[in-house]
Structures are given as structure tokens and as C-alpha cells.
Structure 1
């Protein structure tokens, strides 16, 4: 099953499979090894015995440095590490040439490409051009200015430069593919974390009041079952309706399609608070609000009522809805001061602040002398 992060990465064009990352690495290794083999094959026409062995060892060392220090796909080396590796590469390219002669300078392309990879562009490009020019200068010193030697000089310069460019381009491309692959993994991890937060937030916001309502209704039924069976039966039907709605809300949370309705939440709040013995009054019930504002106000109302049932020993609760100009307000006030105020820093209010802030609004919890209020505002 494809993770949410992978789907988002595909949608944004940043998806890179594991196969692509491995293939890019294989291409770099193959091309670098092929250049080394071709250069060795050309050098072997001039070297025999000990010279061939020295040439092979130096070529192997240059290839190893290239793949482990400059064309690596992981985190780049620090300045000190790059300086040491470049110095070692220069020694391996130019020192054997003193003994083996100009043919070994074919490996100068590895040094040229490594300079582009290891240094910033303002330093790497001049260094690359210098190494390329050195290949032609050394070729000229050996062959002089004879007409037949001009082709060899041009070939030496172009071969060194093109080898460096190919190694640089393929290495950077492979590194870019790896970075995209890592970004895909990070995006997937972030998507999983966001989904967990979404599930926890929706479960808290949607199920808190429903479960509290089930508890309150069950307590009412327990009190009335002996003294007033008819009323107990009526409350039991409401309890069944609440439990069915709670089941639907659980399914909505799992599906990520949780959406509340303010009018429905007002009716539910009246029913639950009445059952808990709390007097309820609503002002502005007919105010028309956009769907997004209505849903968020419904979430806030649910959180406020949940806090009244769980934490506040309130005798009355007042709900006021108003819309003035381009701003809508919802204020829920109850007289359960101490307990409600003590819960003002809970996870539910923090979720509300985050949601309201995402739409440019705010939520404020205030404690007065004899009441506690929760006020939310949103731009319309």
C-alpha cells in the first residue's frame, strides 16, 4: 500500500524510487570505472613490467578517491577532508607522470571533475580550466610545436576537459537523485506524523462530547428507571441515538471526513446540558455563517460543552453567536468558574487555537468573578 507521503511526492513531481537511486549510483560507478579502464588500456601500449604495475595501482587509487570522496552520494566531506582528498588526487595524477610520462596524464580528467565537485563554482571552474590547460602544456613540452603534435595537444586538452565534465555531471545528477529520494522519505514520515495528529485532534474534538453525553444520559436513565420508567425510556432512546451518532463520528474520524454542523451541535448541546441539569440559553441561533466558519464554531461549542460536563459544576450555560461586518464571534459562558478555568490550558483548547489561527481567527479563555467564558472569532 502506498504511503500518503509517497502520493504527495508523486503529485508534486518529487517522487524518486529506490530503483532510480540505485541506478544513478551504478551509472556513476560504471562510467568512472570505464574511463579508468580506457585510460589504462591506452597507457599499457607504452608501459611494461614495473611501469604497468605502478600505473595500475595509481589508477586504482585515483578511482577509489573519486568514488569515495567526490562522487559519493552521502553527506559531502568537510573542507579539511576535501582539501586532503584533492591534494592526494593531484599527487596521484602528476607524480606518476614524472616517472611514467605523459600518457598517464589521461587521468587528469578525474582531477578536473573532482575540482568541480569539491569546490564552489567561483573556485572550481578556474581550477578545472587550469587542470585542463596543464594537460595541453605538458603535452606540448614533450612533443614540441611540430604540426603533427598539434592534434595530440588538442586531444589531450579536450579529453581531460570532457572527462571532467562527464564525471562532474553524472556525480551531481546521482547526488540530486539521492537527495530527492531522501526528501521523499522525509515527506512520507511527515505525512504519517500529520495523519496521527489529525486523528488525535479529530478524535478529541468529535468524540469528547459524544462520550460525555453517553455518560450523562446513562446516569439520567439510572436515576429514572425506578421512579419514572416512562421518562427513563425516553432518555434511553436518546442515549441510543447519541451512541449511533458517536459510531458514525468514529467512522468519520477514521475516514478523515469529519465535519460538524453548528445547528446540530446546538441541539445536541441543549439536550446533553438539560440532562445534566444545566440551564441553557442561546442567542443568535439564526445567524447565517459560511460552512467553514459554522463547522469550526461547532467544534468550539462541542469543546466548551465537553468542558462544562467534565470539569465545571455549572448551573447555567449561555451561548451567543454574532456576525458583525466581516467577523463572526461565538462566546460560550458558564458559571462553573474554578474547574473550567483550571482546564483552560488543556489539549482541546490548544487544538482550537491552532484551528482558528489557521483561518486567521483566535480563541480566548477568560475567567471572571463568577463565570468562565470561551470566546472565538473568525473572519467571514
Structure 2
């Protein structure tokens, strides 16, 4: 099956961030080339300077790539060493005017070296240009300016490089959030469809089996049951249509009435205790879905003869309890789709801060209970 997840629109932000970084590095490169032109004594030196700048530029682009710091340690050491040589060796020819190349090196140190070593090495790069300028007889203010310029270049290179990486990570996260939203909506639709059709189809199947038994002996009652089947099937069709348009809502009061009617038709003695007022539509829908699934399960997985449905509100919580006898301990549903219902309901209840318990109760009965705090849901409504 082909994945129908829609393609997420690619944001221009990563390209813009890379463009800003490239333009900034190019500007630094042009400034350095102009300095080399002023300091070169001949065409050979100028060609060598241009070649060194080109290699340094390529190295810096590599160091500024997102995730470069996670590359092999050997590669990082080699490229940093090459950048170190290109930053300091030409100073012998071009004097401290070439020292701005140490700014690229300082930025690369912040990008590729672990944090506890990176910042001291970054500071050492700036201090080295200050010392070199003083040794070459430059004024103190000029020397401090050159050292400070090196540090400024390094932090700009580092900041823009990290910005590119963060923008790409954010763009990827945005796409992932969109994909998760699509998957979540698919799961929600699947849960709703299961809750709707699982109950309705079980009811239709049960009533059809009853009709088959009634036709020879009680044709009038069989006709009444057949009318109920038609009503149930039409209601299921309407529910599916509302579900597909996102308008699906369920009523616990209606589900209690429907469940009692269905169980009575199945010759199950049913006791209903209902004293409740759901605080929100979401809570009403979730509890109605719990009741549907519980009734569907007890009809499918037990030889039920007695069932109790109780809905009460006490201690700041709305509590739905469905308890039945006729438990078959050895029963296992072999169908691939078995076992999804209670898991779906658990996820539904989490949304309204509720909890679901299901298991054997005293007396060999099976109990499904959903508890939803009413105070927190009232405040959220």
C-alpha cells in the first residue's frame, strides 16, 4: 500500500539561512583578498594568497555544514590542522594583515571542538593575533583591535553556522509534526470507526440471529426485530457519514437506552442505575464509546445472562461501570482485529484525564470501569 501522507511544503528558511552564511563568508574572503593585494610584493605572492584563501573558504564551508561536529574525529583533526596552517603560515609574508584568517579558525574551533575545549581555544586564537601584532611593532590599540576582530569574526561564523543547523532541524521537526498529526488523525478515525461499527454490527448480527429463530414461531415479533435492524443500520450509516465529516458526537444517555434494549433482546437481564450529568460533550462521547465497547465485548466474549450498567457521579468524578456474568476464562478471539477496543478506549480516556480498568471482579464477573474527574474537565470546557 502506498503511503498517502501528504508532502509537507518545504520552507525557504533553510535556503535563506545558508545564503546568509555564504554571503557572510564570501564578504570576509573578499576583504582578505583586498588585504592580500595591498600587502603582496608580486604576482606570485598574490596567486599564492588567492589559492590559500580559496582552500580556506572551502574548508570553512565544510566546517559550517550542519552536523559537521558529529563527523569522524580524524577528519575534523585533519581539516582543522589544514586551516591552522593556512591561517598562520602566510603571516610571514603578509604580516598581521593576514591575521583575520584566524577568525575563520576561531569559528571552526567553536563548531568542531567539544565545548570545554572550544572556548579556551577560541580565546587563544584571538590572543595569538594580539601577540603577533605586538611583536610586529603595532600600536597597542591596533593590536587589540586586530585580536578583537578575530574573535568577532569567529563568533559570527559560529553563530551563522549554528543558525543554519538549527533552522534545518526546525524545518525537519515541522515536517515531522505534520506527519505525526496526519498519523494521529488516521488513528483517531480508526478508533471512531471501530467504536461505531463494532457495536452496530454486533447488534445487527445478534438481532438477525434472533429473527431467524423467531420467524417460524413468532413472525410478528420477528417483523418488529427486523424493523429495529433497519433502524440500527440506518443509524450506523448516518454515524459513518458524520464521522467522515468530523462531526461525530455520542450521547451516553442514548447509549444506555440502546444498550438496555439490545441486551434485553438478547435475553440478558439488565439492571441500569443512571444518575449523571456529563460536564462536557467530550466526556459524554468518551463514556458513550466505553459503554458501546463494553456491551459489544460482553456479547461477543461471554455467555452473559445478567448485566449491570451503572453511571454515577461522586467524589468529583463521573464513573461508568459495566459488569456481567458468564465469563469464559479460556476464551480467546483468534481474529487479527481482536483486542483493539479497550486499547482505543484507554487512549480516548487519556484525552479527558480519565482512566479505564477492565478485568475479573468478585463472584467470577467481568467488570469494565471508566472514571473521569469532572472538576478538571469542567474547568477545561
Tell me if TM exceeds 0.5.
yes
Alpha-carbon distance in 1 for matches of 2:330, 2:290: 14
Q: Give the drift of 1:348.
A: 1.3
Q: 1:132/1:280 Cα in 2 relative to 1: closer, same or farther (>3 Å)?
A: same
Structure 2 unmatched runs, 5+: 375-381
Deviations 1:11-30 (A, max 9, x none): xxxxx952111111121112
Structure 2 residue 256 is matched with structure 1 residue 266: yes
Structure 2 residue 170 is matched with structure 1 residue 180: yes
Q: Give the drift of 1:366.
A: 1.1
Q: Give the drift of 1:240.
A: 2.0
Q: Give the drift of 1:122.
A: 5.2
* Matched residue, 1:285: 274
Candidates 192, 197, 206, aligned match of 1:216? 206
Q: 1:102/1:119 Cα in 2 relative to 1: closer, same or farther (>3 Å)?
A: same
Number of matched pairs: 362
Moved more, 298-307 or 223-232: 223-232
Q: Give the drift of 1:181.
A: 0.7
Structure 2 residue 133 is matched with structure 1 residue 139: yes
Alpha-carbon distance in 1 for matches of 2:204, 2:329: 21
Counting only pairs closer than 5 Å after superposition, residues 2-81 of structure 1 correspond to structure 2 as: 18-47=11-40, 48-69=42-63, 71-74=64-67, 76-77=69-70, 80=73, 81=75
TM-score norm. by structure 2 comes to: 0.83
Q: Give the drift of 1:349.
A: 1.7
* Matched residue, 1:13: none
Alpha-carbon distance in 2 for matches of 1:175, 1:45: 36
Candidates 187, 194, 197, aligned match of 1:197? 187
Structure 2 residue 299 is matched with structure 1 residue 309: yes
Q: 2:275–2:312: 8 Å Cα contact kept in structure 1?
A: no
* Matched residue, 1:362: 356
Q: Give the drift of 1:77.
A: 2.5
- Secondary structure, in 3 states, of the residue corresponding to 1:332? strand
Q: 1:4–1:191: 8 Å Cα contact kept in structure 2?
A: no
Q: Give the drift of 1:187.
A: 1.1
* Matched residue, 1:377: 371
Deviations 1:287-330 (A, max 9, x none): 43434544333222111110122222222322223333323332
Counting only pairs closer than 5 Å after superposition, residues 72-221 of structure 1 correspond to structure 2 as: 72-74=65-67, 76-77=69-70, 80=73, 81-99=75-93, 101-119=95-113, 123-142=117-136, 144=137, 153=143, 155-221=145-211
* Matched residue, 1:351: 344
Deviations 1:330-358 (A, max 9, x none): 22222221069756x92212223343355
Q: Give the drift of 1:211.
A: 1.5
Alpha-carbon distance in 1 for matches of 2:79, 2:289: 61
Q: 1:4/1:316 Cα in 2 relative to 1: closer, same or farther (>3 Å)?
A: farther
Q: 1:279–1:317: 8 Å Cα contact kept in structure 2?
A: yes
Q: 1:339/1:302 Cα in 2 relative to 1: closer, same or farther (>3 Å)?
A: farther
- Alpha-carbon RMSD across the aligned residues, in angstroms, is 3.0
Deviations 1:139-179 (A, max 9, x none): 3323x25xxx5675355334323322322222222222112
Alpha-carbon distance in 1 for matches of 2:6, 2:256: 35
Alpha-carbon distance in 2 for matches of 1:74, 1:208: 49
Structure 2 residue 314 is matched with structure 1 residue 329: no
Structure 1 unmatched runs, 5+: 7-15
Deviations 1:264-285 (A, max 9, x none): 0011112222333323221x22
